[in-house]
Every structure is written in structure tokens, then in C-alpha cells.
Amino acid sequence: MDLPVEKWKLYAKQKWTSLEPALKEKLCPALSLRDCFLLFSPLFQSEDEEYLYSLARNYCVKKDPSMVLLYKAEGNERFRKKEYRTAGMLYSKALAHTEVSTPERAVCYANRSAALFHLDQFEVCLEDIGRALEKGCSHGLYPKIMLRKAECLLSLGRPQEAAEALCSLESKMSAEQSLAADSSQMLLNKLGQLKAKACQGSSFVRPPALPSRTQKGLEPWEENNWISCASAAVRLSVSPSKGRYLAAARDILPGETLVREEAFVSVLCPGEILLLRGSADTTLDEPSDNEDLNCHHCLRRLLASVPCQGCSYAKYCSQTCAQLAWKNYHRIECSLGGLLLTLGVFCHVAFRAILVAGFAEVNTLTRQSCGDDLGEADVAKVSASKEQDLASVPGCDVDGRYRSSYRAVFNLLPHTEKQSPEFLFLCSLSIAALCQRLEDAHLAALVCGKSISESQEGAKAAELKNLGEAMLKHMLQLRCNAQAVTTLRESGSGDKPVASSEQVRLAVGLFPVVSLLNHSCDPNTSVTFKSTTAEVRALQPIAQGQEILHCYGPHKCRMGVAERRKELLSQYFFECQCLPCRSERGSSSQRSASQHGVFRCPACQAPLQGEGMLHCSREACKVQISEDRLQHQLHELQQLTKTALELLDNSQPDRSVKLLLRCRLEARRLLSPEHLMVGEMEDHLAQAYVTLGKWQEAAGHLHSSIQVVEAHYGPSSIEVGQELFKLAQVLFNGVARSKNCKRCKPASKNHWVPPLRQEGDCCHRETYTPCETTK
């Protein structure tokens, strides 16, 4: 996903293996990025280009008129079956293949508005109706969508506007006799009914809207004068061992927002199905993924997408986002969609970064760097200077301010000297392929922002080399400095009282201020995302002068010290020296927390100890039992739990509860009270009781689940937060429903995050967070 597709990686590996040893030897640690790119880019030959483009054709993103008919027909079929959500998604996919200002686009907008109306999404329905009218819908559609518009306005408490829409329809029908003749008696009757409703509602006065109280407005926020997007509670510091980092400028309380930063650039991660099968093998019943569910510009969740004018891949939440994307980067990317999908998200982010920054700034910074890479020594040079004098700190402007800008992005460390030669070759070859494509497609001039004549071929080649060097730098930076933007996404059909949610990796972004946070396996902050904005909050009190730390993934509660060390070294090139790592390395036992005291003695319920053949921790108890036997029992318990969840998913909650209670009893007998599976069992039972409408029982099991989660992950962990959120929903719905008829639906749907992760799993395992320990 982040790197190129497997076939291109394998091809590059074979090409690297076949290189002459003398050429490989030139790739020494002292080689600059510019020299690295100049060394390897000429190796991209015509046969390489032909093979790469054959792979890119598997991800063709051109508009296909035949797909409009197929998706629309399937959408109509689902609409007839009253599967309105699925129908709306299919109409969106049909829209993606329509051309601008065509009758097909107007029909798709009109059809989708009908699905949205039945989903009670009246505001969005009105937007689609407006788009259908703008694109020039047919005479036959016009009365239907105008009546639908009036119904939406009435449902929203806007009778005056509804009356105006109906008057407009009547006027047009009077002026155009053919329109009146085509309208059925049923439509005319409905027109009369809606007019009566509009007249009755004309005396209705809508209450004034309450003032918007956003989270930002509720919190005290004093902007930092020296670090953009940061609170005045933090300051920028530099040291030889830590590089650039953030520290507390004053005492910080838990929950305080320390950074609120918009991504300098972000790219939506394509769905795994698309990457595995390619766009040519797309089927109509294929589940929707990131590229269909979220805006390709602002990452917001899509309900009714606006398609790109040039390709079928990019989709947006509004015409505003579509226009911004086209202006800033997509007019260049649009024809390169298949190639960018083949080369991976990191290459795409690197390319988009130079498009957003603009050639002038990229060229200036690349020339200023003179081909030299920013390294640890460069950062260490300024560590002895006064903290007030930050102008010499890499990434800061001449006035000493650190902004969320391209300069800050450009000065993030690529760690070139620590990357493997094979990885450097893969990245260089991929960037060379992209530069070659820009030249072949005559897009180089657009990227550079000017027209280059035939007599200026030398200048064009030099400018492309500068762009290639910058993109290679960004691609290497991303391995240690990218942020994986995550979100909770509802899974399933959405028509059940309990909606299961899962954490998904939505996009990859560059956040230069967030990248100043160093790693700790026991962090004092958490990072969350809303759209393209990252928000850093304090998890605990942070004293003045203390470093502000974030977890890059390997957390002390989720991995043993050996696992954490291996992961941090392989991806981020450093060995963690945080307090938990130092204390665990000094401990005589190196076993991970997930392996310690997992099983209980069947005779006295005390923890079992040892490896292979386990023995009871109580000296008086002489029980010994094989660990393999206990692991087999645990596996059987997991399978039984899976069966219980399938029963719940198949609308058999009573049978599911009986089986889960049996599993819970077995889990308590077999496992330690703090074992994650004990907590999972409580969480599953809570979910089943919510389905049955037994709110008090559900709340009781959630309380038990929270105790296990807190013991394992800590009271300030995101896992505890998820469980508390579920408990709040259950308690709210329990109180709200008790005041109404038992047949009433819950006041709000309960969104169920997968309860807990198995031992060793990490919710941020794939999060590419900033590695600035050696900035």
C-alpha cells in the first residue's frame, strides 16, 4: 500500500541483483540524495517503462460509459428492494464514470436523490436535486425531482421554500403543455397534497438556530508565537541526542490540546481489493472501500460524492473540494492515476507535496541544499545555541518561527545513510519512472509552472532532476515521518440496533509540527484525527520543561521490550531509551506482558508459571500441566466465541447469549482475570444484551470489561476511552428508552468498536509516525 505494488518491487529487486558490483559500490553512506538520484535514474530503461505501464493498466482510472449503465441498473434493482444505502453507493459509482454536463449525470444525480430521501438525508438530497437540475434533467424527471424537493423542504420545516418550489413547477407545467401531458395523475395528486401541506405549514415559525459551539470554541487556546498550529504551552528545543523536539513551556494539565495541525499534504489510501485485483476486475457487488467512502481532498466521509471531471477514481464531498483539488494538484495527477496507484502511497505523497508547494519553492530549497542531506550532525550544530535564537534550526524561517510549511517538510530527516541500498534503488527507480512519465506526457511544463521550448531542453532536464531529488527525499522521509490518518468506520449493513465499528487506516499525511514529537513506549500524549487535522492532547500532567512524547506504535502495554526494539530499529532506525524500555531491559525476565501469567491453575485458580510444562505459583499446590494443552483449550474457546458472534450477527441474540455465558465461565476458569479474552467476553455479552434491549445487563458487563482493559492498557489509553464511550451510549439509550414505549427504537445507534485486540496486536502497528529522535 505505502510502497509500490509487489510485482514492481520484485522487478526492481531483480534489476538490483543484476547490477554490476562496481555500480553498487558507488552507493556509499556518504552519497548525497542528488548523487543517488543521478546514479540510478539513468538505469530506468524503455523495457522497465513498458513493464511498469503494463502494471499501471491494471489500475485504469479512465471513465467507462458502459459502467454507467451497469452501476445504474444495479442501483435501480437495489432501490426496488429498498436497499437504499447500497443503491446510493451504486449511483455514486455510476456518476464517477459519467462525463460533465451529460444527461446520464443528471439521471444519476436524480436517482441518488431518491435514495437519499428514503434515508432521511434531506439536506444532501436537496444538493443532489440541485445538481440534477443544473445538469439539465429530462422533462420526465423534472416533476418528480421538484416534488421531491418540496417534500425535503417540508421535512426540514421550510414550508415557504416548499411552496415556492411547487409554484415554480406549476408555472413550468402551465408554460409547457408537453410537461403537463407527460405528468401522471398520481404526480398531479401529489402536487395538490404537497401544496396543501405547504399552506398549512406556512404559519410555522422555526426556532432560531442555536449558536455553534465547536470543540475549538469550547477550549481555551492560546496560539504559539513561534510554532504554528501549536499551543503556547509548548516550546521548540534542540539537543544533540534528541534533535528537535517539543517540551512543556509551562505545567500542562491532562486533556489540554497541545497541537492542532492541518496536514501539509495527505493522500487517501486505496482499498486493498482495488490493489489486489485491479480496476479491470471490479464487480458490481464489491464492498466499498476508502476510495468510494471518503473525500479524496478533505478525507470527510462521503454520503453523496461529486465525481472528478477527468477520471473515475477521485471523488469529493463537494464541488468546493473538487475545485480545490483540481487547482492545487489533481489537474496534474488526473491522467497519472493508474501509475500513482502502482507506485504506492509514499510516491504519491512525495509527488503531491511538490505540487502543493509549487516548483519555485521546491527549486529554491533544492538548490540551497546543494545536494547535501540534512543529517544528525546538522541538527546538533545548533543545539548549543540559545533557545531564543531559532533561526539556525533546520526547518525554521529566518525569523526563527517554525511553521507548518514546505520548508519544515523539506527539512525533515530522510535518514538516507540508514536506508538499505536496495530500498534506495527501489525509491530512485520509482521516482525516475514518474519523472519520465511527466516528460512523456508533456506535464513537466505544468509542474514547473511555465512553458519550456525545444531550445531549453537542458533547462527542462535540470528542473526535472531537481523535482526528482525532492521527491526522492520526501519518499525516504515518509518511512519515518509520515502519519497514518485513522478513523472509526461502521461495518455491516447499518440496519441493526448495534453498529459494529472498526479502526481503519484512511490516509497518509505529512504534519511537520506533529513530526517534532519524539517517541516513548509510555507516552504522555495521544494523537487523533478529524478530517485532515491532527490533534495532540496531553494524557497526563506534564511538568514545565518535560519533553512531550508520542508513541509511534510499539507500546509497553501491547508489546514486550524485545518486540518493541525490533520494530523501532527496523522502521525508525533507533533504539528506544524511554524509562519502560530501560527498566524492562534491566529486568531478569524478558517475557512480554501478554505471555506472563496467562493461565490459571485448574485446582486452586492461582497463576501458572514456567514454560513448556507449567506449574502452579502456590508452593502448596503441586499441579503441573502442559502449556500446549492449555493453548489448545484456548483455541477451542476462541472458536466457540466466534460461533456465538456469528449467531449474534445472524439475529439470534438469545442463543448467542447462552453460548457466550458458557464461554465466559470457561474463560474465567482457564485464564487470568486480566487476560484480554476475559474482557472480550464481557464486551461481547454487553453487545448481545444491547441487541436484546437489556440495557442494565449490558452496562454491567461493560463495567467488567473496562476493569480488564484498564488493567492491561492503563486508565488513559484509547482502549479505555472506547469502552467508556460504549458505556455512555448504553446508559443514555437505557434511560431514553425507559421513558418511551418498549417498541420505540433506541435514541441513538450504539457504535461498537471491536472490543479488544489479541495479545501482541497493536492498534497503531501500521501508523507511520514521526521519527525525529535523531533530527
Which pLDDT value is given to residue 25? Answer: 83
Which pLDDT value is given to residue 615? Answer: 85
Report d(CA 50, CA 68) in Å as an integer: 30
The answer to whether 127 and 159 are in contact (CB under 8 A) is no
List Cβ neighbours of 256 (8 Å cut-off, separation of 6 or more). Answer: 231, 233, 537, 538
Which pLDDT value is given to residue 378? Answer: 55
Q: Residue 570: pLDDT band by 50, 70, 90 thresholds? A: confident
3-class SS of residue 360: helix
Beta strands in 118-250 (DSSP E): 234-239, 243-248
Question: How many other C-beta atoms are found inside a 10 Å radius of the C-beta of residue 278?
Answer: 19
* Lowest mean pLDDT across 408-417, 422-431, 735-744: 735-744
Long-range contacts of 327-336 (CB under 8 A, 24+ apart): 328/355, 328/356, 329/355, 329/356, 330/296, 331/446, 332/443, 332/446, 332/447, 334/308, 334/310, 335/310, 335/311, 335/441, 335/443, 336/434, 336/437, 336/441, 336/443
Which pLDDT value is given to residue 488? Answer: 79
Which pLDDT value is given to residue 491? Answer: 64
- Residue 515 pLDDT > 50, yes or no? yes
Task: Convert the pLDDT of each residue in 738-765 to its tens digit.
Answer: 544 444 444 455 555 554 433 333 333 2
| Helix (H) / strand (E) containing 752 | strand 750-752
Report d(CA 764, CA 570) in Å as an integer: 16
Task: Convert the pLDDT of each residue in 78-133 to its tens digit.
Answer: 999 999 999 999 999 999 999 988 889 999 999 999 999 999 999 999 999 999 99
* Lowest mean pLDDT across 124-138, 325-339, 451-465, 542-556: 451-465
Within 13 Å and on the Cβ side, how many CA atoms surround 9? 8
Q: Which of 105, 116, 460, 387 is nearest to 238 (CA)?
A: 387
Whole-prediction pTM: 0.84
Task: Convert the pLDDT of each residue in 298-345 to its tens digit.
Answer: 999 998 999 999 999 999 999 999 999 999 999 999 999 999 999 999
Whole-number average pLDDT of the chain: 82
- Residue 708 pLDDT > 60, yes or no? yes
544-571: average pLDDT: 88
- Residue 11 pLDDT > 90, yes or no? yes
3-class SS of residue 502: strand
Which pLDDT value is given to residue 203? Answer: 46
List Cβ neighbours of 224 (8 Å cut-off, separation of 6 or more). Answer: 230, 231, 232, 234, 235
468-481: average pLDDT: 94
For the chain, percent helix, then strand, then coil, each to nearest 5? Answer: 55, 10, 35
3-class SS of residue 229: coil
Report d(CA 423, CA 428) in Å as an integer: 9
Which pLDDT value is given to residue 221? Answer: 81
- CA 306-308-310 angle, to 5 degrees, is 155
3-class SS of residue 290: helix
Q: Which of 6, 96, 155 is nearest to 312 (CA)?
A: 96
